[in-house]
Amino acid sequence: MDERLAAWLTALDERHLANLTHSEAARALRALSSCYVERRAKLARGGALDTAGKRAAFALFYAPLHFLVTREVVRALPDATRHVARIVDVGCGTGSAGAAWAMECGNARVTGVDRHPWAVAEAAWTYRQLGLSGRAARSDAERMTIDGGTGTAILAAYAVNELDGKAREILLPRLVAAHERGARVLVIEPIARRPATWWPVWERRIREAGGRADQWRFQVPLPPTQRALARSAGLNPRELTARTLWI
**HEC string for the chain:** CCHHHHHHHHHHHHHHCCCCCHHHHHHHHHHHHHHHHHCHHHHHHCHHHCCHHHHHHHHHHHHHHHHHHHHHHHHHCCCCCCCCCEEEEECCCCCHHHHHHHHHCCCCEEEEEECCHHHHHHHHHHHHHCCCCEEEEECCCCCCCCCCCCCEEEEEECCHHHCCHHHHHHHHHHHHHHHHCCCEEEEEECCCCCCCCCHHHHHHHHHHCCCEEEEEEECCCCCHHHHHHHHHCCCCCCCEEEEEEEC
pTM of the model as a whole: 0.92
What domain count does the chain have? 1
pLDDT at 193: 64
CATH label of the domain that carries residue 198: 3.40.50.150
Which pLDDT score is estimated for 147?
82
Q: Which pLDDT score, from 0 to 100, does residue 86 have?
A: 97
On whether the CB atoms of residues 64 and 237 are closer than 8 A, the answer is no
Mean pLDDT, contiguous 10-residue spans, the chain (247 residues):
92 89 84 63 52 87 96 96 96 97 97 95 98 95 86 97 93 96 96 82 97 96 90 82 97
What's the pLDDT score for residue 44?
43
In this prediction, residue 48 carries a pLDDT of 62
Nearest one of 90, 114, 74 to 171, comparing CA atoms: 90
Range of the domain at 231: 3-246
CA dist., res. 25 & res. 16, Å (int): 9
